């Protein structure tokens, strides 16, 4: 990834927080890397280099600044806007694929050889998959050290390290102090560490502005009884994660979203954080999006009224796909009723220790494929489509993870009987965070366009939307809100 070195330095000199997460500032004289907005004295231009990722900085021997915590920033929006191998790999690495399946598994998911993957990531991101995964493990370890009472050995294995020694060495190299010192420093900054084992209280930062009310309203209209609850100020739901179940309470606050996680297995912290960030689209660059959409005179009042709009994502691609197919050609309320009925019949109840709210996991694709015919109601064609999609997912024929290419996923979906372009585009938007899906055939989008004085005919609206690239998904979300 080529960085404009002079522009980066101007951002650092002005401590511009809008660039946090876009690049890393590495200071040669101190051996420390920081976020662009670090409050420390601005280093001389000759003493700094700018790198695309924390993994690249660590590979060059830099350690993380303990003052500005450069890993505690929103991620780069590039990972969502790009569909190339580097962006897809980064999404999978943050989901913990390397820890679970190794670099071999990561390469297989992306459809490339390990050698080619390493070459591309090193060229694009300044570090190979192992170094990038190591940086992610270090970040997960710091979160566990600072937010849980877990012992260091438990943290080491929960964060994905092969041994306690590897954990200790990595923390020393990345943060410059042993893990126990990190915990002591955190206690001074935050007060006492939470005393309930398995419960973590985290801050998920975002780039302002942030349309939290819009996200909560979207989730509230679709919330399934037992699986999720939404109030004016928070969103609670159950999570199905790689190593077990969990629950989360999300509370939007100034500058960050508070997340209270109850994990069945602490190894799921990294994947949980990555999925929650995608759910709320926290890595978006709202200023860039609003600036472009606001250039259209019809959109300018809409953007001014709702700055920082976000794409509602997902924590479980399988769940979202099955719910989308279940809700085809019916109202949102009817889809919600059908989804809640399916979850109540086939979902799994969580133990009381994991929840004080929603306690029902949405059923797996395997369960729906095996028993869905017993409980699904409605048109036979829709039931057949739901069962077919469940069978495809359960058998591995349809993969719905963050590493998919949006165009490839759309093509696979529309090739399946009963799946049309709208459903394929909707899933690309929700599951992959594709920022450029207009959904021009959607009735709500067309009604919103008409309300703003935009053309509502599909072809004419699509032509007008050429001016909104690459943020047409955000335009569609504005039109939904308007309608």
Catalytic residue status for 442: yes
Which residue among 64, 86, 105 closes a domain? 64
Please check whether residues 41 and 98 belong to one and the same domain.
no
The pLDDT assigned to 192 comes to 46
Domain count, the chain: 3
Determine the Cα–Cα distance for residues 354 and 348; give it in Å rounded to an integer: 13
84 Cβ partners below 8 Å, 6+ apart? 124
Q: Higher pLDDT residue, 192 or 45? A: 45
CATH code for the domain in which residue 45 is found: 3.40.10.10
Q: Are strands 348-349 and 63-64 parallel, antiparallel or unpaired?
A: unpaired
* pLDDT, tens digit, 9 for 90 and up, residues 361-372: 999 999 999 999
Percent of the chain whose pLDDT exceeds 90: 86
Question: Of 78, 268, 285, 442, which one is the catalytic site residue?
Answer: 442
Could you tell me which residues are beta bridge partners of residue 349?
Answer: 360
Query: What is the pLDDT at residue 462?
Result: 96
Asked whether residue 56 is assigned to any structural domain, the reply reads: yes
- Whole domain around residue 449: which residue ranges? 443-482
In 83-211, where does DSSP find H-type helix? 85-94, 97-110, 114-125, 129-147, 152-158, 164-175, 179-190
Give the model confidence (pLDDT) of 273-283 as tens digits.
999 999 999 99
In the predicted model, what is the mean pLDDT of residues 222-249? 97
Same-domain check for residues 107 and 177: yes
Looking up tokens 């071999």 gives 104
Of 22, 37, 64, the residue at which a domain comes to its end is 64
Whether residue 187 has pLDDT greater than 90: no
**Cα–Cα distance for residue pair 364/140, rounded to 1 Å:** 27
pLDDT at 72: 87
46 occurs within a structural domain:
yes
Average pLDDT over residues 306-316: 97
Its pTM surpasses 0.95: no
What is the pLDDT confidence band of residue 356, given thresholds at 50, 70 and 90?
confident
HSE, side-chain direction, 13 A CA sphere, residue 116: 7
54 and 83 housed in the same domain:
no
Average pLDDT value over all residues in the chain: 93
**Same-domain pairing of 125 and 89:** yes
Say if residues 75 and 23 touch (Cβ distance below 8 Å): no
Looking at 34, 38, 68, 302, which residue is catalytic? Answer: 34
pLDDT at 193 over 50: no
| 202 beta partners | 259
Q: Which of 312, 454, 453, 321 is nearest to 440 (CA)?
A: 454
Question: Over 60: is that where the pLDDT of 195 sits?
Answer: no
Task: Flag whether 335 is in a domain.
Answer: no
Predicted pLDDT at 148: 82
* Cβ atoms < 10 Å from Cβ of 47: 11
Q: Is 302 part of the annotated catalytic residue set? A: no
Domain end marker among 37, 64, 91: 64
Does the pLDDT value for residue 401 go beyond 60? yes
Per-residue pLDDT for 157 more than 70?
A: yes
**C-alpha dist (Å) from residue 397 to 18, 92, 192, 412:** 40, 19, 48, 10
How many other C-beta atoms lie within 10 A of the C-beta of residue 208? 13
């Amino acid at each position: 990834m080529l960085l404009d070195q002079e522009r980066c330095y101007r951002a650092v000199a002005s401590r511009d927080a809008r660039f946090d997460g876009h690049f890393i500032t590495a200071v040669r004289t101190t051996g420390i890397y920081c976020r662009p907005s670090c409050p420390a004295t601005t280093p001389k231009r000759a003493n700094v280099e700018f790198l695309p990722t924390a993994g690249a900085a660590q590979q060059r021997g830099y350690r993380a600044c303990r003052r500005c915590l450069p890993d505690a920033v929103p991620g780069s929006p590039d990972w969502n806007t790009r569909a190339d191998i580097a962006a897809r790999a980064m999404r999978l690495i943050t989901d913990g694929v390397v820890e679970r399946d190794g670099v071999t598994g990561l390469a297989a998911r992306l459809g490339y050889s390990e050698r080619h993957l390493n070459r591309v990531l090193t060229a694009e991101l300044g570090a190979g998959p192992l170094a990038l995964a190591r940086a992610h493990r270090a970040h997960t370890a710091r979160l566990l050290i600072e937010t849980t009472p877990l012992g260091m050995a438990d943290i080491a294995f929960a964060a994905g390290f092969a041994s306690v020694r590897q954990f200790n060495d990595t923390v020393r190299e990345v943060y410059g102090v042993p893990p126990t010192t990190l915990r002591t420093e955190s206690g001074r900054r935050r007060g006492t560490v939470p005393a309930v084992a398995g419960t973590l209280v985290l801050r998920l930062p975002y780039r302002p502005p942030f349309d939290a009310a819009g996200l909560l309203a979207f989730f509230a209209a679709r919330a399934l009884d037992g699986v999720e609850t939404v109030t004016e100020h928070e969103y609670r739901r159950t999570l199905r994660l790689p190593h077990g179940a969990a629950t989360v309470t999300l509370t939007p606050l100034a500058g960050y979203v508070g997340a209270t996680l109850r994990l069945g297995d602490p190894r799921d912290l990294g994947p949980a954080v990555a999925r929650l960030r995608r759910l709320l689209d926290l890595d978006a660059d709202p200023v860039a999006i609003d600036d472009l959409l606001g250039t259209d005179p019809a959109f300018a009042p809409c953007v001014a009224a709702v700055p920082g709009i976000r794409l509602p994502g997902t924590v479980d691609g399988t769940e979202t796909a099955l719910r989308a197919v279940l809700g085809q050609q019916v109202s949102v309320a009817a889809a919600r009723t059908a989804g809640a009925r399916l979850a109540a019949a086939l979902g799994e109840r969580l133990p009381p220790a994991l929840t004080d709210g929603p306690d029902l996991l949405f059923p797996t694709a395997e369960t729906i494929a095996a028993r869905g015919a017993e409980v699904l109601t409605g048109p036979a064609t829709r039931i057949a489509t739901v069962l077919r999609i469940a069978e495809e997912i359960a058998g591995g024929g349809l993969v719905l993870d963050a590493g998919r290419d949006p165009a490839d996923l759309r093509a696979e979906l529309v090739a399946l009987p009963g799946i049309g372009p709208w459903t394929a585009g909707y899933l690309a938007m929700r599951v992959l965070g594709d920022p450029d899906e207009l959904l021009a055939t959607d009735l709500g989008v067309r009604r919103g366009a008409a309300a703003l004085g935009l053309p509502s005919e599909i072809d004419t609206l699509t032509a007008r939307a050429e001016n909104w690239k690459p943020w047409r998904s955000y335009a569609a979300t504005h039109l939904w809100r308007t309608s």
